C-alpha cells in the first residue's frame, strides 16, 4: 500500500537546528548495544548529537548530511552516492527515510556503503498515520521489513519515538497481523482498546526499527 503523503512541507524555520532536534538520542544508545568496536556511518546525522553516543563504543564514527552549515571534522557534507562501496562496517540512519523522496535508492545506498549491517528507525504508520507534515511517507512494520528483505536478514524492533522504550519483535507474523487489524476500520477500535491494556512488550508501538544483516559475499 502506498504510504506517500500527497504534500510534504519544508521546515519553515530556516535555522540550522530546524527539524534536527535530539529527539532520537535513546535510539543511538540502543544502537550502541548492537554495534561495538567498528567503523560506522550515520546517514542523515543532522547536528551530529548521536555521533558522540556511538563513539563511546565504536572505533570510528562519521556523520553524513547535505546541509553545509553543519559540516564538521567528522561530518561529511556529500550525497550518499559519492561515498565509496563497503567503506564502513555498518550504517545507522535514525528517522531519515520518511523524509527521503526515493526510499528504495536510499536503502540501496546504505547497503552499498555498509559491509555488514544497516540499522534504521522510522515511525510506525499504523499508529502515526503520516500526520506530521514534513514526512513524505511512513511504513507499517511489514512494509519496512519488505523494503529491506531483498538485501539480507531483517530483525525488527518496536519502541516509542525517542527510543527510551525498545523491544525486539519476537513473533513477527503475529505483530504484522495485529498492525493490520489496528489499521482496518472495522477492527481498529477494539484493537486500540486491547492495546492500551497490554504491557509495552506486547503492544503495537509507534516506532519501527530494523537491523539488516548483509550476507557475506553479497553482490553489490
Instruction: Provide the whole-model pTM.
Output: 0.91
Backbone angles phi, psi at 117, to 5 degrees: -160, 160
Distance, in Å, from the CA atom of 220 to the CA atom of 151, rounded to the nearest integer, reads 10
Q: What is the pLDDT of residues 121-141, one digit of tens each?
A: 999 999 999 988 889 999 999
Residue ranges covered by each domain of the chain:
25-170+205-213
Contact assessment for residue 212 and residue 117, using Cβ atoms and an 8 Å cutoff? yes
pLDDT at 16: 47
Nearest alpha-carbon partner for 119 in 31, 218, 183, 194: 31
pLDDT at 53: 96
pLDDT at 132: 83
CATH code of the domain made up of 25-170+205-213 = 3.40.50.150
The tens place of each residue's pLDDT in the chain, 220 residues long, gives 455 554 545 544 455 455 556 678 999 999 999 999 999 999 999 999 999 999 999 989 999 999 998 888 899 999 999 999 999 999 999 999 999 999 999 999 999 999 999 999 999 999 999 988 889 999 999 999 999 999 999 999 999 999 999 999 999 999 999 999 999 999 999 999 999 999 999 999 999 999 999 998 677 6
pLDDT at 187: 98
Instruction: Provide the strand spans (E) within the chain.
Output: 39-43, 60-65, 75-77, 88-94, 114-123, 153-159, 166-168, 207-213
Q: What is the pLDDT of residues 93-122, one digit of tens each?
A: 999 999 999 999 999 999 999 999 999 999
How many CB atoms within 10 Å of residue 192?
13
pLDDT at 12: 47
Q: Beta 88-94 vs 114-123: how paired, if at all?
A: parallel
pLDDT at 137: 95
pLDDT at 13: 47
Amino acid at each position: 500500500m502506498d504510504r506517500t503523503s500527497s504534500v510534504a512541507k519544508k521546515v519553515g524555520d530556516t535555522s540550522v537546528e530546524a527539524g534536527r532536534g535530539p529527539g532520537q538520542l535513546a535510539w543511538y544508545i540502543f544502537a550502541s548495544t548492537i554495534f561495538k568496536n567498528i567503523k560506522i556511518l550515520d546517514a542523515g546525522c543532522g547536528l551530529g548529537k548521536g555521533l558522540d553516543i556511538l563513539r563511546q563504543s565504536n572505533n570510528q564514527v562519521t556523520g553524513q548530511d547535505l546541509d553545509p552549515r553543519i559540516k564538521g571534522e567528522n561530518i561529511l557534507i556529500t550525497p550518499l552516492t559519492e561515498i565509496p562501496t563497503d567503506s564502513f562496517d555498518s550504517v545507522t540512519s535514525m528517522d531519515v527515510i520518511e523524509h527521503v523522496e526515493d526510499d528504495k535508492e536510499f536503502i540501496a545506498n546504505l547497503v552499498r556503503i555498509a559491509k555488514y549491517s544497516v540499522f534504521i528507525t522510522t515511525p510506525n504508520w499504523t499508529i502515526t498515520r503520516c500526520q506530521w507534515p514534513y514526512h513524505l511517507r511512513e511504513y507499517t512494520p511489514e512494509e519496512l521489513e519488505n523494503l529491506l528483505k531483498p538485501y539480507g536478514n531483517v530483525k525488527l524492533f518496536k519502541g516509542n519515538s525517542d527510543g527510551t522504550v525498545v523491544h525486539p519483535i519476537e513473533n513477527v507474523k503475529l505483530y504484522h497481523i495485529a498492525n493490520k487489524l489496528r489499521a482496518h476500520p472495522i477492527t481498529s477500535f477494539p484493537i486500540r482498546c486491547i492495546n492500551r491494556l497490554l504491557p509495552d512488550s506486547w503492544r503495537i508501538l509507534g516506532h519501527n526499527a530494523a537491523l539488516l544483516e548483509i550476507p557475506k559475499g553479497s553482490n553489490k
